[in-house]
Amino acid sequence: MSTLLRSGFDRRYVLVPMLAAIVLVMSVFFVAEARRAYTRDLSLVIRDREDRMRKLTELIYASLESESAQRGYLLTGEPEYLQPYASGRKLTEQLLADLESRYRARDQVEVPVLREVQSMLETKYIEMDRTIKLLDVGANRTALRLIKTDVGMQVMQQIRTNIEVLRSREGDRIAAGVAEWDKEIRVNSLINGLSTAFTLALLIAVGLLATRDIRRRDLANRELENEVSLRTAELRDLSEHMLRISEVEKSALARELHDELGGLLVSMRMDFSQLRRRLQLPDAAAEERWARIDAGLKAGVDLKRRVIEELRPTLLDNMGLVVALRWQAEQSCQQGNMQLIAQLPESEPELNNEAAIAVFRTVQEALSNILKHARASEVRLVMTVQGDHATITVEDNGVGLLNDATAGGGSHGLKQMKFRIQAIRGSCEVRNGPIRGTVTTIRFPIASNARAPAGVEEAT
C-alpha cells in the first residue's frame, strides 16, 4: 500500500489532480456548509412568518368570537355568553403581545400597524364592556341601541382591514422567502453538479494519463524484453559456436596426438623391443633400467590413449552413441566402485556428430557428478527410443541434491548439461529421486538431429 502511494505520488499526473480534487472537495464542503446554514435560517424565517400569518388569522377569529359572544349576551341575557367573550378577549391580548414581540424581532416597520390594530381592539372592547355593563344594570334598550349604531361595525371592519393588510404583506414576504429558498436550493444543486463533474473530469484525466503511462511502460518493457531475448539469442549462438569450436579443436588435437605422438611412441617401443632382443645387457642394474624405460614408454602410450579418449571419445566416432555411453558408464562405475545397471537399445539412433557429442558429454557430466558428489553404490543408465524421441535417464542411489545445488556460482556442470541439450532442441532435468539419489532425464528429438545423408559433410 505504501509503495503504491509512494509510486503514485511520484507521478505528477496523479499528485496534481489529487491535490486539486482535495482542495475542490474541501472548498465545496465549506461552501455547502455555509449555504446549508443560510437555507436553514431562511426556512426558519419562512416558518416564523407562516406562524405570524396564522396568528393574525386567529386574532381576527378571537375578536369576532368576543363580538358574537357579546351580541349573544345582549340578545338573550344568558350569562354563559360571557365566558367565550372573556376567553376571546384574553386570546386577543395574548396574540397581540406575541405578534408584537415577533414583529419587533423582525419587520419592525409593521409594529405601528399592529399598534393601531391593538388600540382599535382596545376601543372595541371598551365599547363592548360598556354595553354589557348597561345590560347588567337593566338598561337593555340603551345597550341595544348602542350596538345598532354602525360605529362598532366600522371599527371591526377597520380592524379586519388592517389585519388583512398585514396578512397580505406577510404573504408577500413568505412568497419572496420561498422563491429565495428555491433559488438557493438550485444554486446548491448547481455547485454539487459542477464539483461532481469537475471531479469526474479529473478522474477521467488521471485514468487517461495512467493508461498512457502504462501503455508507454508496456512498450518500453516489450522493447526491453525484445532486447534481452535478442541478446540471449546472441549469447546462446555464441556459446553454441564456442562449444562446437572447442569440440572441433579437441578433435583436431586428438587426431594430432594420435597420429604424431602415438606413432612416435609406438615406433619407439617397437624399436626398443627389437633392440632388446639383439642386445645382451651387462648386469642386473642395466636390465632394471631397461625395464623402467620400457614401462615408461608403455605408460606414455596409455596416457596418450587416455588423453585422446578424453579429448574425443573415439568409440563415439567409431562405434556410435550407445557403445560410447556404455563404455563411459563402465569406466565411471569401475573408478567409483559402483554397480552399473545399464539398459540400452540394440540399435544405434542415427545422430549427427553435434547431437551425439552433446548427449555423450551430458551423460559424461552426470556420471562425473555422481563420482564427485553422490557417494552412491549403484548407477542405472537407461536409454529408450519412442517414436521420434530418445530418452536417457542416469540414476544414482547417493545422497541426492542439496537445496541450493543449482544456485552455485562456481558450478557449471548442470548449466552446461541443460545448455548442450537445449541446443539440440531437447530438455535436460536433474532432480532428486523418489526415495534417494538423483535422476537426470535427457530427452531429445532424433529426426531433427539425424546424421546428414551420405556425401554431405558435417561441421565437426
Ligand X SMILES: Nc1ncnc2c1ncn2[C@@H]1O[C@H](COP(=O)(O)OP(=O)(O)OP(=O)(O)O)[C@@H](O)[C@H]1O
The region of 30-38, 118-126, 349-357, 401-409 touching ligand X under the rule CB under 6 A is: 401-409
Q: What Cα–Cα distance (Å) separates residue 143 from each residue in 66, 81, 147, 150?
A: 16, 16, 7, 13
Q: What's the min distance (Å) between Cβ of 336 and ligand X? A: 11
Q: What angle do CA 166, 123, 106 make, to 5 degrees?
A: 30
- Cβ proximity to ligand X, 140 vs 416, nearer residue: 416
- Cβ proximity to Mg ion, 351 vs 366, nearer residue: 366
The rounded radius of gyration (Å) of the Cα atoms in the chain is 60
Q: What's the min distance (Å) between Cβ of 239 and ligand X? A: 15
- Cβ proximity to Mg ion, 92 vs 393, nearer residue: 393
Q: Which residues have C-beta within 8 Å of that of residue 346, sequence separation ≥ 6?
A: none
- By CB atoms closer than 10 A (0-12, 13-18, 19+), residue 13 is middle
Return d(Cα 162, Cα 119) in angstroms, integer: 12
Q: Is 369 in the site for Mg ion (CB under 5 A)?
A: yes
Q: Give the residue among 87, 62, 86, 70 at the shortest CA–CA distance from 136.
A: 70
Buried b (16+ CB within 10 A) or exposed e, 130-146: ebbebbeeeeeeebeeb
Return d(Cα 308, Cα 230) in angstroms, integer: 38
Q: What's the min distance (Å) between Cβ of 406 and ligand X? A: 7
The region of 126-134, 278-286, 365-373, 395-403 touching Mg ion under the rule CB under 5 A is: 365-373
| Residue 444 DSSP label | E
Applying CB under 5 A, which of residues 84, 413, 433, 445 lies at the interface with Mg ion? 413
- Cβ proximity to ligand X, 74 vs 401, nearer residue: 401
Applying CB under 6 A, which of residues 8, 413, 433, 445 lies at the interface with ligand X? 413
- Cβ proximity to Mg ion, 99 vs 414, nearer residue: 414
Phi/psi for 150 (5° steps) reads -85, 10
Q: Is 398 in the site for ligand X (CB under 6 A)?
A: yes
- Cβ proximity to Mg ion, 369 vs 438, nearer residue: 369
Q: Which does 438 bind (CB under 5 to 8 A by kind): Mg ion, ligand X, none?
A: ligand X
Residues forming the site for Mg ion (CB under 5 A) = 369, 413
Residues forming the site for ligand X (CB under 6 A) = 369-370, 372-374, 396, 398-402, 405, 408, 411-414, 438
